[in-house]
């Protein structure tokens, strides 16, 4: 039942820390590589670098809701939202694989 999940490459769930600037502040973010890959895809789709996408997202969240309690969790959920939106736009793409 869980073969597709249990059998995935451990590199996908290994964590990587990246350094970037959020609102001019140098910071580091640690995420699993699968999330970094998705964030890279989102940024590429938008024609920006991943740090620029993340910084823009952070600025927009600050403007709408104030400082997020857990920004890395917000990034993970943003990745899931991106995947949900992508699935809605191409519902048969998974079946075709």
Residue 72's pLDDT band (cuts 50, 70, 90): very high
Q: Convert the pLDDT of each residue in 14-49 to its tens digit.
A: 999 999 998 889 999 999 999 999 999 999 999 999
| Among candidate residues 94, 48, 46, 54, the one with its CA nearest the CA of residue 74 | 54
The C-alpha atoms of residue 86 and residue 1 are separated, in whole angstroms, by 25
The C-alpha atoms of residue 62 and residue 66 are separated, in whole angstroms, by 4
* pLDDT of res. 96: 44
pTM: 0.85
Q: Domain 11-96 carries which CATH code? A: 1.10.3990.20
Residue spans per domain, the chain: 11-96
The partner residues of 21 in beta bridges, in order of sequence, read 26
The C-alpha atoms of residue 41 and residue 26 are separated, in whole angstroms, by 23
| Among candidate residues 88, 59, 57, the one with its CA nearest the CA of residue 74 | 57
């Amino acid at each position: 039942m869980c073969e597709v999940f249990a059998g995935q490459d451990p590199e996908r769930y290994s964590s990587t820390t990246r350094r970037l600037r959020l609102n001019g502040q140098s910071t580091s973010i640690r995420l699993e590589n699968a999330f970094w890959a998705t964030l890279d895809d989102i940024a590429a789709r938008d024609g920006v670098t991943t740090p620029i996408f993340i910084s823009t997202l952070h600025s927009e969240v600050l403007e709408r809701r104030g400082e997020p309690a857990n920004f890395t969790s917000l990034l993970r959920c943003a990745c899931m939202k991106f995947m949900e939106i992508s699935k809605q736009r191409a519902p048969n793409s998974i079946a075709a694989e």
